[in-house]
Each structure stands twice: as structure tokens, then as C-alpha cells.
């Protein structure tokens, strides 16, 4: 474990897979104190003293609800880096509000992806009055990623769905898209150990534009999660990672 730094919160890591191990590596390099690591052999329980300020959860979607219920009983703040739990969003928000704790969630904790979100959103606004362009999203992740399409891809799709009248939703099933111009298609690939690649393809009869983001490794996600932990320390409320960075990028 690393030496304490008074300017940073003490961190607990929930989930010690590839992402948890990367988080540990980057946290130590940045001078954070890691007070506890929870995994399948050392689970988070109510009896634990929880001698930390903020927990960062990169476990799995099925554990998220129980984790926040346990943490809320001792009023511990939480960073939710796990994806695939979004159907429980309102329940988790209510738990955070009732316990007066701070929670930051994000489908993608890469700071570069937050730039990419803003670029994509601007593209959607610029296309608002153009009717000859179609949008598609192609995303690739490692073969162990369980949710498809990814939360990141869904967020990218929503920028166009919110701005362009021709789309009323998205689908990952090609049969829903063929002959139906109302569905924005998200194509998901799961192969190898790809960290994360997202391409927004904007096509017309005359030209094609592609916006691409590729994660080189997991370190960018770890840096973003640690920044969120620093930001939420001593705060209350339910926030997205976008809220964290928006407070800087006025």
C-alpha cells in the first residue's frame, strides 16, 4: 500500500479484475492511499470497518445494487465504473439521496471519450437541418464484455436521436434497421482483448464522415475514475462523469 496524501481521498477498490488491477497501479503512481481491495475472495460486507473515503466499483452489474446498499449504511461515497446496471438507475439514485452520499456513475470514464462525446454532440446539432445523411455506430470490445451494445455506444446514439427528427430510437438488430429509417443501427463486435473502439459513421450519397475513438489501454479509465473520486469526496448527490468534467470545462 502507498503512503497517505492529505489532499486525496482514501480509496477502496471493488472488483480486482483487469480494470481493478490497473486502477491500483495508477492510484499508487498518483499518490492515492488504497485502504482496501474487495473481490470474490474478500467481499464487501456490512461488518467491514470501511476505513476509506470513496469506493470505486469496477466489479460487475449484478453486484452494483448490493454494493451501494452496503456502502450507504456507512455513508461511503461511490464511483460506479461498472456498466450494464442502468435499469436500476432510479433505485440506486434513491438510495444515494436517502443516505446523503455522493455517487458518480459513467458508461465510460475516459477523459478522451468525454471530448469525443462533445464532438459527436456538436456534429448532431450541425446535422439538424440536413436530411440526406444517415448515422451508424460500430463498437468493438474484448470478448469478455457482457453488455452489448455498450453504454458508451448508446450515449453516442442518443445525441443523434435527440437532435435528428428521423430517428426515434436505436437497435443492434440489423433486421430492425433494414427498410426502417427510424432506427439508428449500433453494430457490436466482441473479440480478442480490444479495450474499446467506437466509430460514428455519417454517410450520404455523396460522402462519408467517420469520427473514431480508440482506447489504447485501461489507464485512461483509471485516471478518470480517480479524478471522479477526488471530485466527489465530501460531496453529496447523484452525478454522471459528465457532471464532473463539466465543472471544469465551463
Q: Cell 462519408 identifies what position?
A: 208
Mean of the pLDDT values across residues 163-172? 92
Whole-angstrom Cα distance, residue 30 to residue 219? 12
Lowest mean per-residue pLDDT among 1-5, 29-33, 215-219: 1-5
Binned at pLDDT 50, 70 and 90, residue 7 comes out as: low
What mean pLDDT do residues 209-227 have? 96
Give the tens place of pLDDT for each residue, 12-23: 999 999 999 999
Rounded CA separation 154/112 (Å): 17
- Give the pLDDT confidence score for residue 4 in this predicted structure: 41
pLDDT, tens digit, 9 for 90 and up, residues 55-76:
999 999 999 999 999 999 999 9
> What residues are paired with 197 via a beta bridge?
140, 214
Please give the Cα distance from 11 to 218 (Å, whole number): 18
Give domain 11-109+218-246's CATH superfamily. NAD(P)-binding Rossmann-like Domain (3.40.50.720)
Fold of 111-214: Dihydrodipicolinate Reductase; domain 2 (3.30.360)
Instruction: State the span(s) of the chain assigned CATH 3.40.50.720.
Output: 11-109+218-246
Distance CA 50, CA 74 (A): 8
CATH 3.30.360.10 placement within the chain? 111-214
For 108-149, what is each residue's pLDDT tens digit? Answer: 999 999 999 999 999 999 998 888 899 999 999 999 888 899
**H-helix segments, the chain:** 18-30, 61-72, 89-99, 111-126, 151-163, 174-177, 219-232, 241-246
Q: Are strands 77-80 and 54-57 parallel, antiparallel or unpaired?
A: parallel
Residue with cell 464532473: 244
> How many other CB atoms are found less than 10 A from the CB of residue 54?
30
Q: How many helices (H) and strands (E) would you count in the chain? A: 8, 11
Tell me which long-range contacts 45-51 makes (C-beta under 8 A, separation of at least 24).
45/70, 46/70, 46/73, 46/74, 50/12, 50/74, 50/76, 51/10
Least confident of 14-18, 181-185, 224-228: 181-185
The secondary structure of residue 209, as a DSSP letter, is E
Whole-angstrom Cα distance, residue 40 to residue 10? 21
Q: Which amino acids are annotated catalytic?
A: 141, 145
Amino acid at each position: 500500500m502507498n503512503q497517505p496524501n492529505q489532499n486525496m481521498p482514501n480509496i477502496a477498490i471493488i472488483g480486482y479484475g483487469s480494470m481493478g488491477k490497473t486502477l491500483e497501479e495508477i492510484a499508487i503512481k498518483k499518490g492515492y492511499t488504497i485502504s482496501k481491495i474487495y473481490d470474490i475472495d474478500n467481499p464487501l460486507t456490512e461488518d467491514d470497518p470501511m476505513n476509506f473515503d470513496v469506493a470505486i466499483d469496477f466489479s460487475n452489474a449484478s453486484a452494483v445494487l448490493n454494493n451501494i446498499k452496503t456502502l450507504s449504511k456507512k455513508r461511503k461515497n461511490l464511483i460506479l465504473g461498472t456498466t450494464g446496471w442502468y435499469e436500476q438507475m432510479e433505485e440506486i439514485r434513491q438510495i444515494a439521496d436517502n443516505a446523503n452520499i455522493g455517487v458518480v456513475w459513467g458508461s465510460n470514464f475516459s477523459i478522451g471519450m468525454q471530448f469525443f462525446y462533445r464532438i459527436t454532440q456538436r456534429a448532431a446539432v450541425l446535422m439538424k437541418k440536413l436530411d440526406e445523411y444517415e448515422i451508424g455506430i460500430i463498437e468493438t470490445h474484448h470478448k469478455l464484455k457482457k453488455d452489448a451494445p455498450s453504454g458508451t455506444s448508446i450515449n453516442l446514439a442518443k445525441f443523434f436521436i435527440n437532435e435528428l427528427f428521423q430517428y426515434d430510437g436505436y437497435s443492434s438488430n440489423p433486421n430492425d434497421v433494414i427498410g426502417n429509417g427510424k432506427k439508428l443501427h449500433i453494430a457490436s463486435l466482441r473479440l480478442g482483448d480490444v479495450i474499446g473502439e467506437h466509430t460514428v459513421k455519417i454517410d450520404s450519397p455523396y460522402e462519408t464522415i467517420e469520427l473514431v475513438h480508440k482506447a489504447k489501454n485501461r489507464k485512461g479509465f483509471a485516471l478518470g475514475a480517480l479524478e471522479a473520486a477526488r471530485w466527489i469526496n465530501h460531496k453529496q448527490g447523484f452525478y454522471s462523469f459528465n457532471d464532473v468534467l463539466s465543472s471544469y470545462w465551463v
